[in-house]
Amino acid sequence: MNAAVSSSVTSPSLHVLTPLIVFMVIAVLLFGGALLVAYLISPKAPSRQKSMIYECGEIPVGTAWSMFNVRFYVIGLVFIVFDVETALLIPVASVYRTLVAEGQGLYVFIILISFMAVIIEGLAYLWKKGDLDWVKSYKK
Amino acid sequence: MSANETVIDHLLQFEFFQKISTAIGSQIGVSHIWVWYMVALILVAAVITGILAAVGGFGTYAERKISADIQGRFGPNRVGPYGLFQVIADGLKMIGKEDISPNESDKFLFYLAPFLCIFGVVATFAVLPFSAGLTLSKTNVGIYYVVAISSLVGLGIFIAGYASNSKWSLLGGMRGASQIISYEIPVTLSIMSILLLSGGLSFEDILANQTAWPAGWYIFHNPFTFIGFFVYFVSVLAETNRAPFDLPEAESELVSGYHTEYTGMRYGLFALAEYMEVFVVCGLAATLFLGGYHVPFDIGKGTIFGDILQIGTFFAKTLGLYYVVIWVRWTFPRLRVDHLMSICWKYLTPIALFNLLGVSVWILFFDGKSILDLFLSAISSGPVGH
Amino acid sequence: MLPEIVLLFSAFMVFLGGILLISTKNLMHSCIFLLMCLFGVAGVYASLGAEFLAVTQIIVYIGGIVILMLFAVMLTGGKEFISRLHKVLNLAPLMGDKSTYMKGSIVGLIIFGGLSAFFYQLLKVLPLKEQQVSDYKIIGHSLLTDNLLAFELSSFLLLGALIGAAIIAKPEKVSESKPTDI
């Protein structure tokens, strides 16, 4: 807590991160406040029937936490691969135009193409193997 | 950054505001300009969140009114003129409802899930470019930050589905999570094709090369960005669980999907998060492809009047897209879950990859000029145009 | 001043998330605490001025890895699995009695000491200043020049991951015995 920043209101680090944090705090406080108000004024009359899990009016059978299809996991894996790919491509893509203006366009373009070709190859492989179908057909 | 450029700087000039801030500062005992800045920031942030929450609330009203219009009904028309106060009535009712959580649910996750959703949406408001002066954070990763933080919404939906311990919820949550992460890929790839043109992730960079007139928008820059806009738009419909991609909350098969067990205000947070997220993605679409907040001739640039004009432009474009989103919902039937996945992985992702390559080829061959520039230069150089 | 606050708060989040992550026996809850931990790491990056890295951390780890882990837990059958294997989990390292905790914390302290001695040397060299140029542009330039081979090879790594995903999902011997026509 010092007065060192008093000379400039707009210190860059203050500018970039502060609003993000302010909004994150507001998100929690404002909507937490709404929940608090709801908690204070809402009626509370719990009953066994109310706190039962909804299963179309019947008494629920078993738990919902059961094994799930492996398809979801595969979708997750493919997503992460593409996510990492975009994370790697974004830095390159952001300098692409300036490098084209500097006359190195073809060089960067070839790098870009060769990177993406490998990924597209992977996508094509999955497609051919039927892993992009939701219901995988096991027919050869 | 020079003074008097942002809305916050304008706010700092008011004497009344300075008095309040100094009073607060003397209470805490810190440097007053810092306090001024913080108070102004918190004030503006609270106002933005409030306004966007109201926009989200009126989204439900607009949805019902527009659907009624499409189906030849009246829609809500009892509370207030044209039923405008329906939103307030709904909100009050939601707050007054009993908050029920199932006995067998995972309580910790059950209470956490709505917060994850709302957090993921509200945190993105910090970088949304409402106007040149009202882009609160000028972080240089702007658009990527929005994509990243809003992935928390998908997590919140999954957690909500899991924690409820209801079969409907779990199915909805699993569908929601897998759908959201799948459709994030075409969205990111479409954004990347814009990034190739803009050369920077911040909204300043993205808007720098666009103009107020449609000819200068990125959507009309070249044929690939034109396709890219539609890839982006379809994908964000799926990412925000809007029809025809609303499988996580498909009411005809899953009761209410991931928020089946939620009541009262907790349900309200999910609904609000969904409608606000639609606003955010429409705002992004307007910024990325449709020229954002640019006003013709830069009227009133740097003044508070210019900022109001720019905010108006941004909201007009965004709400226009919002209308299209609702329109789409009441026009197309819901997709089947396997179709959903094949649209994402077999159509949108390859098209987005193709667009990415297309834009890079375009930049390479035409030096980043837009199609209009090329057309104009062709006319001016040769005596015979096309 | 703010970056320091964010740094400390994020570090606290990492610490707290890590402690909660290993101390809870509910797998779903540990995933959520992992999220907290990873968010803290992103906060540390952001406070040091590496915004692109922070955002990548969020998008890849929180948006991807945590969801993948949740899916993986769903593959095992969630809570039912835990109740079934409760005894086994109690026997497992770091989930059991006090002696395993003791051993674990001694090993952890040794690793922590070694790593911090290493990083202290590194931190003295590194300039911890905020960069005005966008960090991803620097990364982009270096990926295209000095680290070109790593960039291109990473695409093959990703290809391998995609093929691995296909192999994981391969049904066991279903195709040979009888093709189901779903």
Instruction: Give the one of A6, A28, A45 whose C-beta lies nearest to B31's C-beta.
Output: A6
What pLDDT is recorded for position A59?
76
Coil, helix or strand for B1? coil
Mean pLDDT of chain A: 77
Q: What is the DSSP string of B239-284?
A: HTT-TTS-GGG-HHHHTTGGGTT--HHHHHHHHHHHHHHHHHHHHH
Q: Is the pLDDT of residue B129 over 80?
A: yes
Contact A111 C80 (CB under 8 A): no
Alpha-carbon distance of B141 to C45, in angstroms, equals 13
**CA B217 to chain CA centroid, nearest Å:** 19
pLDDT tens for each residue of A69-98: 777 788 888 888 888 888 888 888 888 888
Mean pLDDT of chain B: 82
What pLDDT is recorded for position B37?
74
Contact B151 C74 (CB under 8 A): no
What pLDDT is recorded for position B40?
77
Alpha-carbon distance of B78 to B65, in angstroms, equals 12
Q: How far is C38 from chain A (nearest CA, A)?
A: 16
Mean pLDDT of chain C: 77
Q: Is the pLDDT of residue B182 over 80?
A: yes
More confident residue, B70 or A131: B70
* 8 Å CB contact between C141 and C135: no
Q: Is the pLDDT of residue A140 over 50?
A: no
* 8 Å CB contact between A20 and B126: yes
pLDDT average, residue stretch C156-178: 71
Q: How confident is the model at residue C90 (pLDDT cuts 50, 70, 90)?
A: low
Q: Which 8-state DSSP code applies to residue B31?
A: -
Q: Is the pLDDT of residue A1 over 60?
A: no
Contact C70 B149 (CB under 8 A): no
| Domain locations in chain A as residue ranges | 9-41, 71-129
Task: Please list, residue by residue across C60-74, b when 16 or more beta carbons sit within 10 angstroms of its beta carbon and e when fewer do.
Answer: bbbbbbbbbbbbbbb
Interface residues from chain B to C (CB-CB < 8 Å): 106, 108-109, 112, 139-141, 144-145, 147-149, 151-152, 154-155, 158-159, 162, 174, 177-178, 181, 184, 200-202
Q: What is the DSSP string of B204-247?
A: HHHHHT--SSGGGSGGGTSHHHHHHHHHHHHHHHHHTT-TTS-G
Instruction: Give the one of B148, B181, B201 whose C-beta lies nearest to C67's C-beta.
Output: B181
**CA C82 to chain CA centroid, nearest Å:** 22
Q: Is the pLDDT of residue B226 over 70?
A: yes
What pLDDT is recorded for position B207?
84
pLDDT average, residue stretch A13-17: 61
pLDDT average, residue stretch C28-45: 88
* 8 Å CB contact between B104 and A63: yes
pLDDT average, residue stretch B91-111: 83
What pLDDT is recorded for position C131?
52
Contact C58 B149 (CB under 8 A): yes
* 8 Å CB contact between C147 and A66: no
Alpha-carbon distance of B203 to B142, in angstroms, equals 6
Q: How confident is the model at residue C111 (pLDDT cuts 50, 70, 90)?
A: very high
Contact A73 C137 (CB under 8 A): no
What pLDDT is recorded for position B232?
92
pTM of the model: 0.85
Short-list B252, C170, B38, B119, CA closest to A29: B119
- Name subunits touching A (3+ CB pairs < 8 A): B, C
Alpha-carbon distance of C93 to A124, in angstroms, equals 42
Q: Is the pLDDT of residue B116 over 70?
A: yes
pLDDT average, residue stretch B269-290: 89
pLDDT cut 70: percent of chain B above it: 90
Neighbours of B305 (CB within 10 A): 11
Alpha-carbon distance of B97 to B267, in angstroms, equals 10
Q: What domains lie within chain C, and their CATH numbers?
A: 1-96 (1.20.120.1200)
pLDDT tens for each residue of B318-356: 999 999 988 888 888 888 877 888 888 888 899 999 998
Residue of chain C whose Cα is closest to the Cα of B143: C55
What pLDDT is recorded for position B385?
46
| Domain locations in chain B as residue ranges | 1-96, 101-381
Q: Is the pLDDT of residue A32 over 50?
A: yes
Contact B109 C29 (CB under 8 A): yes
Q: How far is A25 from chain B (nearest CA, A)?
A: 9
What pLDDT is recorded for position A34?
84
pLDDT average, residue stretch B202-229: 84
What pLDDT is recorded for position C179?
46
* 8 Å CB contact between B42 and B24: no
Instruction: Give the one of B141, B155, B184 whose C-beta lies nearest to C51's C-beta.
Output: B141
Best mutation target among B18, B34, B105, B275 (most A Cβ atoms within 10 Å) is B34
What pLDDT is recorded for position C25?
72
Alpha-carbon distance of B193 to B360, in angstroms, equals 8
What pLDDT is recorded for position A14?
55
pLDDT average, residue stretch B267-278: 88
Two tokens, residue B132 = 């040149």
pLDDT average, residue stretch B103-116: 85
Q: How far is A43 from chain C (nearest CA, A)?
A: 30
What pLDDT is recorded for position A135?
66
Q: Is the pLDDT of residue B296 over 70?
A: yes
Contact C58 B139 (CB under 8 A): no
B contact residues 167-206, partner A, Cβ 8 Å cutoff: 167-170, 174, 177-178, 181-182, 184-185, 188-189, 192, 195-201
Kindly report each contact of residues C128-132 with a partner whose C-beta sits within 8 Å and lies 24 or more positions away, as own/partner: C128/C48, C129/C49, C130/A12, C130/A13, C130/C3, C130/C49, C131/C49, C132/A12
What pLDDT is recorded for position A6?
37
pLDDT tens for each residue of B4-43: 566 666 666 666 767 776 777 666 666 666 777 777 778 8
